[in-house]
């Protein structure tokens, strides 16, 4: 149960924070309403989605009862699947650069690996610490 919980919490974190950032960028006029993203805005969206994904994977790894990397990569697999769904749904439509949804699918696993790696580095005892 805790394994599923850790992945679900990470997924909810990613979805909620991403939607919140998207809303703020729409309300503030950074994202023009009803217009496709240009390359610069797609790059901005990619960057903050990757950072949020790293955070979600870190959270998943922290909450995992064991094997935090495995749990974070499961989250990344779910992210890849969802990004591929988005890619199929938006391909050929004038919603922005074609590379944007591709990048989300390609980066989902690496960002999840990085989030788990950051957690594992922070959780590891310092080198040279012989107090076991």
pLDDT recorded at residue 72: 98
DSSP string, 20-62: HHHHHHHHTTSSPTTS---HHHHHHHHHHHHHHHHHHHHHHHH
Q: pLDDT for 24-44, tens place per residue? A: 999 999 998 888 889 999 999
Task: Quickly tell me which residue has 């591929």 as its tokens.
Answer: 84
- Does a structural domain hold residue 130? no
DSSP string, 87-110: HHHHTTSSSS-THHHHHHHHHHHH
- Does a structural domain hold residue 129? no
- Does a structural domain hold residue 73? yes
- Does a structural domain hold residue 126? no
CB distance 111 to 50 below 8 Å: yes
- Does a structural domain hold residue 125? no
Task: Read off the pLDDT band of 129 (50, 70, 90).
Answer: low
Looking at the 3D structure of the chain, how many domains does it have? 1
pLDDT of residue 99 exceeding 80, the answer is yes
pTM, full prediction: 0.90
pLDDT recorded at residue 56: 98
CB distance 61 to 72 below 8 Å: yes
Radius of gyration of the CA atoms of the chain, in A: 17
Range(s) of the domain holding residue 45: 2-120
- Does a structural domain hold residue 132? no
pLDDT recorded at residue 132: 47
């Amino acid at each position: 149960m805790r394994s599923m919980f850790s992945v679900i919490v990470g997924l909810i974190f990613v979805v909620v924070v991403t939607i919140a950032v998207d809303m703020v960028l729409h309300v503030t006029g950074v994202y023009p309403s009803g217009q496709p993203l240009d390359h610069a805005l797609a790059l901005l969206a990619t960057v903050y989605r990757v950072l949020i994904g790293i955070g979600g994977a870190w959270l998943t790894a922290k909450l995992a009862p064991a094997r935090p990397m495995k749990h974070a990569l499961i989250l990344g697999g779910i992210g890849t699947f969802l990004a591929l769904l988005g890619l199929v749904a938006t391909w050929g439509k004038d919603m922005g650069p074609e590379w944007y949804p591709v990048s989300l699918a390609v980066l989902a696993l690496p960002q999840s690996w990085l989030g788990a790696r950051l957690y594992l580095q922070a959780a590891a005892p310092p080198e040279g610490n012989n107090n076991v």
